[in-house]
Structure 1
Amino acid sequence: MASTVLPAISPVLLERGRVAVTLTRSPLRITVMRDGLPVVRAIEPWVRDGRIDDRFVRVTEGVVAREHLGAPDPIVSASVVPDPGAGPPTGRDPDAAPTPAADGSAPTEPPSTTLALRLASGVEGTLRISLPATDVVHVDLVLGARPGAVEAAPRIPLPLRMGVRWPVAGDLRLAGLGARHHPSVDHAGRRIQLGADRRYLGPGCAPEMAAVGGIPQGDYAPVPFLQSTGGWAAWLDTAGNGTQFFLDGGAVSPSVRTVSGPLRLRLHLHPGPAQRLLAFQRATGRPALLPAWGYGFWKSRDIHDHQDQVEEDVHGCRWHEIPVDAVVLDSPWETNYNTWRPNPHQFPDFAGMVGRLRGDGVRTVVWVTPWVNVDSAGGQTPPDPASIRLHRQPAETYAEGARIGAYVRPPAGATGDHAHAVKVAMRDDERDDLADLADGDAPYLAQWWMGRGSPIDFTGPGEAWWRAQAEATLRLGVAGIKADDGEGYYLPEGVRFADGSTGAVRAWRWGDDYRRSMRRALENVHPGEGVLFGRSGWTGQQATGMLWAGDQASDFWSLRVLLAATVSAAHSGISNWSHDIGGYLGDAGVKRCSAELLVRWAQLGCFTPLMQAHARLEQEPWTYDHETLGLFRGYALLHEMLVPYVRAAARTAARSGLPIIRPLSWLDPADDRLWGIPDAFAYGPSLLVAPVVDEGLRERTVPLPRGRWIEAWSGREVDGGGTATVATPRDRTPVWVRAGSIVLTHPAEHVARGLGDAPDRERPYVATLWGRPANGRARAALPDGTPVRWVHGRWKLPAEWDVWAGERGG
């Protein structure tokens, strides 16, 4: 944005603790300091008009982002508003609390200042800066607001986009922004539109698509939270499509489309990346703590034609001695999309099947998306004629949902078209039921990847209606929900919700509404025991269940990018994380993954909180050679053995926000080389994992954070701060243990079939001390937090638990 010449005044100074903010108006700039040193320098607001030309590719759920922006709309006047009004524009951040007075008297409002702005186009606005908590700075830019009002109606059409920009050093590292499916975890130099930042460039990409940047794919789990090596993290508190972080040209520039509401920038200035993440999670929710089976091994496949195939999946694991804790019924399993009613032709004894599996220690998880269809011709259908007939009709629950207002409504100017389309799609008897449906109450009707239907509106009566159907299915014994879909790119700006909001402001909050509804259903039926397994992400996702990485191709390029997404997700606070072992889509969409790739993917899955096998094609490990089967079995068993260790890390995440998987840079933030590592991570407090993601690789060189580390396979102790080169034969993935750590596991024989149902205190545990702690003391925690200690050569084990202790390495 061009420099703005305004009357010169002395800088406005806000102070709270170690943080100070100066505001100058000639030109208009904000500088944030900590301990007297600039941390974020010369933040400049900017506004530009333009037009949107985004394109959604439904078949791959990819967004091709295009905007045509005009010249900047400069700020021509900025005057201090004497009364800033009541509180900051957003009510979601609990950090925004009154400041306690030093003398114990009544607390005062957080330090703040507000400027009334006028742009060259005549548009008015406000800029508010506040310090709601120690080491937190809020910058709120609102357009269409007159002085003294926070969000008054605009008198002039608003420009397309508004943002802020500040210069940064050329060596600054930038990380996070959700599960970035990109080879790099350092996003400096990139331009990212959240929800539109994923392209496939693997071996299955045609040259003509590679020439235009790759095949656009679903960007399922963006999070508008950016970490840096500059002493700050930036969160945009928004939920609109089109949220951008431009990180090139020697600057950082987050921005939003004006239709999505105010630009709400929250700067966290805490001394380390972990502390900044924890501050973000204090405002948005800490990771959910799942029951033990939510961290086990799950078996799934794309379509179970009949319930016999479900039982075949479980029996296959039993016959080949692979532990299994849950089986997932993916699409289709219902009478139609999405009725929550088991298809009787596909599952002639659904409740009996679920009960038999549960009696064998295996839970059932069912797939769903937040759409109800009028036409499922484009979706997957079981092959039997009766099931095909069911899917040729509108979902039997659709008309009821339309009558009660359960669906998102179309934009105001398109209600008549949608009402007509809904009535035409209905059966004759249902059409009569909907004859009195007013155009203004008609559902929004759109194409999605399993047909044509209407999305659920979770802000009105649709939430209870939808949740009641979920609870009825859960009462049949189903223990988990695979909550697919829910991404904001399916909702146009103009669609309307029952609470009065629109897609422009709520698009990416829709997925959060969906997940919270499903979480509530699980808690109502299976309190403390149900598991939510979802795909969509945004601010707050970490608090509602497990996230999986969505659809991957079955090739090493995709495995490498998935591992980078794993690290980026951890930078963003996502703790409960999973992925489809072997890749869901197949190799070029037509071949199953190779035996080597299946093993390497299983090795990554072993060190992922939930290990889950799911694919379109036949990728069951017992359909490969004996060596591949044996290696898969071994890593699945190791994953089950590590569940106590993972649960302790998950408990830490739920209490503090620190995720189970942790970027290497968090172990030593001062080591700049660790910020760019996309293919290694810390797993809980004591393990460092460097999965092999290159075909045929038989040796890896890995940077180690400072400290002493023990190679898990050899027991050899090495010093960190440099690099370690290790052999990587097909049966081995590099793992190090922090010297002096206790790692708690289950004995192999206890989990050979799966985790089962034994209460925590009746399970056996093995405590292994790796090397010698430098201070003579080591500690680990059992699932409820009970400590296991080693003090100066002696174990201190809780008498009420079955814990065996030993030592290894060092």
Structure 2
Amino acid sequence: MKVRTWEGRAEDQFIQLTEGMVAAETLEDPVDSTDFTVEELGSRHRLITVAPRAHRMGLALPGHPEQRFIGLGARHGLHVDQAGRALQLGADRAYTGPDCPPDMLDVGGIPQGDYAPVPFVLSSRGWAAWVDNDGHGVRFELGDEVILSTRAAAGPLRVHLFTHASPAARLRAFLRLTGLPPVLPEWAYGFWKSRDVYPHQRDAEADHAGHRQHGIPLDAIVLDSPWATQYNTWEFNPHQFPDAVGYVRRLREDGVRTVVWVAPWVNLDSREGQYPPDDESARLHREPAPNYEPRHFVKAADGDPLVAKWWMGKGSPVDFTSPEAEAWWREQAKGVLALGVEGIKADDGEGWYIPDDARFADGTTGAQAAWGHGLRYRRSMQRALDEVHPGTGVLFGRPGWTGQQAVGITWGGDQPSDFWSLRTLVAATLTAAATGFSNWSHDVGGYLGERLTARAPKELLARWVQFGCFTPLMQAHARFEQEAWTYDEELLDLYRAHVLLHERLVPYVRAAAATAARTGLPIVRPLALTDPRDVRGWSIADAYGYGPSLWVAPVLEDGARSVHVDLPRGDWIDWHTGAQVAGGGEVDAPAPLDRIPVWVRRGALIPTYPAEHVARGLGDTPERERPLEVTLWGEPVGGRALVRLADGTRIRYERGEVSVSPDRRVDFRVRT
């Protein structure tokens, strides 16, 4: 192990149109030394610190030809194994799918936002590393030599090395330092519906009515951008929502929550954003937001508020390191929450828009803390929810970095509607899980549309709905008309069935969420976390464990009617047919359009809600009062099985006898 330094300069380029960062540096020849300090923070935890020097400084570790790497947050690519890659976090996502122009493919694809990076990586060789730094320029070079580096402008290089006995234990050690994922309220694991723009309140009401008319369960409506008078005033636009309070109340009376979108900016000019088509809304968006308060924003190098163009206009980012600014922002949020809104969609917050020379109120610079901005933003919004809706409010956030896994739900950012994007999203789901993200979601069907001009094709939407069914929060959001009832009866039936199955699985999923809160083992489980001795687990990018007992293989090719799947070791039962399958090898599974291949570990107890109980959504029944169905899938080894739900209910099977503690209504079934 040695220190490597480089003189040079950063030349990163931000592409605002796609929120993509192109990483670039001019570096001189490196210089090696052994000038670092080591602290023993535990028997299997060391902290290596390198004082700031040169332009870039890195910790160089020996490589190995068979070493594999997983983690680093949500890596949107075709592979989960990052071995052989050199990547800069925040600048490591590009679209190279079927609609990428050839000239862009030649330069690596269309740069896109690297939404949820985290400077933590798991190695197959018995170690993990966390680069404890919130600045621009954190790099991981994972080749013949492993180099973990930062820029000196970001402060000291601090690398935590974990050598615990298993990948899951190393992940747990990281999460105990940075935050374990919480168990969220039941509705956070339900089905949410959103559109890019509801031009008027009646359009949002029609979306709600459509779900009721067509029998699709519904737990929340997300009022995405725009809903406020300007960006981001926290005040309903009366020309768009003339009866916002009544609308929120009527949804809530029907068992449906309301979530409102926000970004951590206040605008001087919102004309380049989205706004409803009426003249009065257009007039409002031409004006500065009335809550534009210069003293509460991140400062530019000259001491004035940082003013920048972002994707919804021109404005200034809130400085959450200032207690006064954070309280000012939070109090505005609480005003909307007091109207009955129970969720916040906290968009944006990534480090791209914070330049190196920006100044935060706590004395740090953008170079030191740009990527820590999102966590402070999230915590402020979660605090507002806790103060108005303690125990029931839900935060839905986009950005990533150290600690964000411990606050609310994260979704996978903006996806085009094509199979390449679906495949890379599944891979990103796995790498995010290997980094500790347990409460996870994505835009079912893709947000950006097919070729950015049309809604998702029927087959793609069907396959995305099936993947969404086996994702902790199932959330449908798009720029285009992607409501199930606007396709055909076949798609509508498939859509309804998978939303209903998702709702039924909520007790199983929340039991897995409770495990994550105790141990760090996420709801979505890459095989590398559950069976690290199986070398396949470090590279499987198209299948995953879902909780302790399910193995899911989304269909990721257009027109496919079967999938070739790596099945973990052990004995499995086909969810659809009941056929028993020996694991440890590969299987070919039928995948007609209405089916996603799923297997259940033999001997597992799977708790679900009865279909009739959640046919409209989760509603408001207290968790302990809900009826349960519990299915035993084959005889367990040793004749015993146990499941503990998030509410503390324990269901035990022992040699043909079933017991439930505390007592509640349970319909017990055996699947042979």
Using the size of structure 1 for normalisation, the TM-score is: 0.82
Structure 1 residues 125-274: aligned runs within 5 Å? 127-143=36-52, 158-248=53-143, 250-274=144-168
Are the counterparts in 1 of residues 440 and 471 from structure 2 also a CA contact under 8 Å?
yes
Distance 1:705 1:138 in 2: 35
- In structure 2, runs of 5+ residues without a counterpart are none
Structure 1 residues 380-395: aligned runs within 5 Å? 380-395=274-289
Structure 1 residues 399-798: aligned runs within 5 Å? 401-402=293-294, 405-411=295-301, 415=302, 440=303, 442-460=304-322, 461-798=324-661
Q: Which has the higher contact order (CA 8 A, sep 6+)?
A: 2
1:73 counterpart residue number: 31
What secondary structure is seen at the aligned counterpart in 2 of 1:514?
A: helix
Are the counterparts in 2 of residues 760 and 783 from structure 1 also a CA contact under 8 Å?
no
Larger radius of gyration: 1
One-letter amino acid of the structure 1 residue matched with residue 570 of structure 2: G
Which string of whole-angstrom CA distances, capped at 9 and with x for unpartnered residues, describes residues 103-145 of structure 1?
xxxxxxxxxxxxxx5xxxxxxxxx21011112111111113xx
Distance 1:626 1:799 in 2: 43
Residue 783 of structure 1, CA deviation? 2.9
Structure 1 residues 253-332: aligned runs within 5 Å? 253-332=147-226
Distance 1:664 1:732 in 2: 22
Distance 1:504 1:383 in 2: 40
Which string of whole-angstrom CA distances, capped at 9 and with x for unpartnered residues, describes residues 67-112 of structure 1?
110012344xx7xxxxxxxxxxxxxxxxxxxxxxxxxxxxxxxxxx
Are the counterparts in 2 of residues 49 and 73 from structure 1 also a CA contact under 8 Å?
no
Flag the 1:558–1:801 CA change in 2: closer, same or farther, 3 A: same
Residue 617 of structure 1, CA deviation? 0.6
Residue 667 of structure 1, CA deviation? 2.6
Using the size of structure 2 for normalisation, the TM-score is: 0.99
1:51 counterpart residue number: 9
What secondary structure is seen at the aligned counterpart in 2 of 1:645?
A: helix
Distance 2:533 2:645 in 1: 32
One-letter amino acid of the structure 2 residue matched with residue 61 of structure 1: E
One-letter amino acid of the structure 2 residue matched with residue 449 of structure 1: W
Residue 666 of structure 1, CA deviation? 2.3
What secondary structure is seen at the aligned counterpart in 1 of 2:375?
A: helix
Distance 1:134 1:785 in 2: 33
Residue 782 of structure 1, CA deviation? 2.5
Which string of whole-angstrom CA distances, capped at 9 and with x for unpartnered residues, describes residues 668-723 of structure 1?
21111221000100000110101001111111121111111111111111111111
What secondary structure is seen at the aligned counterpart in 2 of 1:775?
A: helix
Are the counterparts in 2 of residues 741 and 771 from structure 1 also a CA contact under 8 Å?
yes
Are the counterparts in 2 of residues 761 and 802 from structure 1 also a CA contact under 8 Å?
no
Are the counterparts in 1 of residues 3 and 32 from structure 2 also a CA contact under 8 Å?
no
Distance 1:716 1:270 in 2: 38
Which string of whole-angstrom CA distances, capped at 9 and with x for unpartnered residues, describes residues 241-273 of structure 1?
11000112x111110000101111111101111
What secondary structure is seen at the aligned counterpart in 1 of 2:51?
A: strand
Are the counterparts in 2 of residues 295 and 610 from structure 1 also a CA contact under 8 Å?
yes
Question: Which residue, 20, 28, 37 being the options, matches 1:62?
Answer: 20
1:338 counterpart residue number: 232
Are the counterparts in 2 of residues 139 and 265 from structure 1 also a CA contact under 8 Å?
yes
Distance 1:61 1:288 in 2: 29
Are the counterparts in 2 of residues 664 and 682 from structure 1 also a CA contact under 8 Å?
yes
Which string of whole-angstrom CA distances, capped at 9 and with x for unpartnered residues, describes residues 180-201 of structure 1?
0011000001111000000101
Are the counterparts in 2 of residues 376 and 452 from structure 1 also a CA contact under 8 Å?
yes
Are the counterparts in 2 of residues 648 and 785 from structure 1 also a CA contact under 8 Å?
no
What secondary structure is seen at the aligned counterpart in 1 of 2:607?
A: strand
One-letter amino acid of the structure 1 residue matched with residue 79 of structure 2: S
Distance 1:701 1:464 in 2: 53
Distance 1:786 1:642 in 2: 16
CA-atom RMSD in angstroms: 0.9
One-letter amino acid of the structure 1 residue matched with residue 19 of structure 2: E
Residue 657 of structure 1, CA deviation? 1.2
Distance 1:779 1:591 in 2: 48
Distance 1:485 1:785 in 2: 36
Residue 502 of structure 1, CA deviation? 1.0
Distance 2:645 2:85 in 1: 43
1:84 counterpart residue number: none
- In structure 1, runs of 5+ residues without a counterpart are 1-42, 79-116, 118-126, 144-157, 416-439
Are the counterparts in 2 of residues 191 and 247 from structure 1 also a CA contact under 8 Å?
yes
Residue 655 of structure 1, CA deviation? 1.5
Residue 798 of structure 1, CA deviation? 3.0
What secondary structure is seen at the aligned counterpart in 1 of 2:444?
A: coil
Which string of whole-angstrom CA distances, capped at 9 and with x for unpartnered residues, describes residues 313-362 of structure 1?
11111001000000000000000000000000000010110000000000
What secondary structure is seen at the aligned counterpart in 2 of 1:637?
A: helix
Residue 381 of structure 1, CA deviation? 1.0
Distance 1:407 1:501 in 2: 14
Distance 1:254 1:553 in 2: 32
Distance 1:354 1:252 in 2: 53
Distance 1:735 1:309 in 2: 36
Identity value in percent: 58
Which string of whole-angstrom CA distances, capped at 9 and with x for unpartnered residues, describes residues 470-522 of structure 1?
00000000000000000011101111111111111111110000000000000
Are the counterparts in 2 of residues 323 and 751 from structure 1 also a CA contact under 8 Å?
yes
Residue 646 of structure 1, CA deviation? 0.5
Residue 211 of structure 1, CA deviation? 1.3
Residue 799 of structure 1, CA deviation? 5.4
Are the counterparts in 1 of residues 624 and 647 from structure 2 also a CA contact under 8 Å?
no
